[in-house]
Homo-oligomer: A and B are copies of this chain.
Amino acid sequence: MPYDPSAFPPFAVTVDLVVLTVRRDALCALVVRRGEQPYQGRWALPGGFVRADEDLTGAAARELVEETGLCVHDPHSPAPDNGAHLEQLATYGDPKRDPRMRVVSVAHLALAPDLPAPRAGGDANSARWAPVETLLGQEGGARGEEQSGQLAFDHTQILADGVERARSKIEYSSLATAFCPPEFTVGELRRVYEAVWGVALDPRNFHRKVTGTPGFLVPAGGTTTRQGGRPAQLFRAGGATLLNPPMLRPEV
């Protein structure tokens, strides 16, 4: 169908953000408390309207800065800026997803290194990092309700989709480094994989794998840091974005 520009149903278009980081060996997502109806007082993913002159990715990047102060990492920049990775996730447009009106939300996925503390946006009462395991209630039985219940709107589904995207994408890309500071050790990178996948990995096979994959890691010169135990070499993310062969998630 061609468009009739004068007669189209009225839509609002928003962006919602699944911002993931690894804190204390757990995969965590940024959630903000809603200050208004509907779902007042419930936790929700950060997000907001797309402005009239704004690109979708631009709107997501703007929201990310407003909520976290994070700049978006330029994939073509050689400098190890402390920016986050940002990509479009999926679009959610069920007619009843917002009780007030027809809202289509273009969800984005952001991966960031561990941050000091979330700064609440102007409109949210508060913001925090919460383990995705808690938010998704994969505990199963008793204590699923432990933190004011489910996320607002369809945000539990959006979060689940974002987490699954992150889990599968670190298999065949170098995206796991987006969870690390500019310089990191092999052990830190391994703990990222373990936190995101929720499994234990063999440190020796992991070391062989990541250092043997061309373009994944480059030595950062500086040779040591501490985490307890023998000092480890520091690395930066290499130029490769696609890993070949890929990292393999155990338990298949």
Contact = CB atoms under 8 A, between A and B. Distances in A.
Nearest to A9: B52
A101 B6 CA distance: 10
B12 A55 contact: no
Contacts of A98: 3
A3 B12 contact: yes
Contact of A8 (B9, B34, B49): B49
A145 interface: no
B1 A93 contact: no
Contacts of A63: 1
Contact of A50 (B34, B47, B93): B93
A165 interface: no
Interface string A235-252: 000000000100000001
Given A49-B9, A88-B90, A56 B2 contact: no
Given A2-B34, A49-B8, A91 B106 contact: yes
Nearest to A59: B93
A149 interface: no
Contact of A3 (B90, B94, B100): B100
A92 B93 CA distance: 14
A102 B54 CA distance: 10
Interface string A30-66: 0000111000000000011111111110000001000
A95 interface: yes
Interface of A: 1-3, 5, 8-14, 34-36, 47-56, 63, 88, 90-95, 98, 100-104, 106, 121-123, 244, 252
